[in-house]
Amino acid sequence: MRPLPILFVLFLILPTAARAQSRRGVLVEIGPSVTDWGSRVSAGYFFHLTDQWVMDLGLAHSMWFPREHPAGQVTGTGHLRYMIDVLRVVPSVFVGVGAGGLLSGESPVTELEYGLTADYMISRRSHVGLSISGVTSVFGSEVTDDDGVLRTSITRMLVLLRFQWVFGETW
């Protein structure tokens, strides 16, 4: 019998110190764009890699009201977040990427997101907070806005209200 499958099975069965303290859950963000008329809604699954490093994966829907830019887009997103745990307020910095397409189907979209968050721990299971972020959307082809201007990218600043529900172990 090979040792590798046995080790894999033991890894799945036996609890480890890291897995006993692992936290995972859902994250919802919603809010307006600060630099243009629009909004963003996202939902995702997060999991702690360590006490400070968190990874989240999800979907985002961005709606931008026309005149200056294309109407909106849907993207799959992923963020890597570094948390600084300070009592009941938990600030963090993050970077993320996303991929998807314009709602019109006109072009694929790639996103780069970066920002700061601050979450308040209501309890060990629920957190509310605020996220201030920049999102740069790069289009796969030139997109014409309502003014007839061809665009290859757009950068927006967002303020998002956050809600987290932890359903894994809570330290």
Given this model, what pLDDT does residue 65 score? 67
Given this model, what pLDDT does residue 13 score? 42
Q: Which amino acid is at 71?
A: A
Given this model, what pLDDT does residue 12 score? 44
Given this model, what pLDDT does residue 113 score? 92
Tokens of 38: 């629009």
The structural domains of the chain, ordered by start, are 19-166 (2.40.160.20)
One digit per residue, the tens of pLDDT, for the chain of length 171 reads: 444 444 444 444 444 444 435 678 898 999 888 776 778 899 999 888 887 888 999 998 888 765 555 667 888 989 998 987 767 888 999 999 999 988 878 889 999 999 999 999 888 889 999 999 999 989 898 887 767 778 888 888 999 999 988 886 655
What's the pTM? 0.69
Given this model, what pLDDT does residue 106 score? 80
Given this model, what pLDDT does residue 128 score? 94
Given this model, what pLDDT does residue 20 score? 39
Given this model, what pLDDT does residue 22 score? 64
Given this model, what pLDDT does residue 50 score? 83
Given this model, what pLDDT does residue 16 score? 44
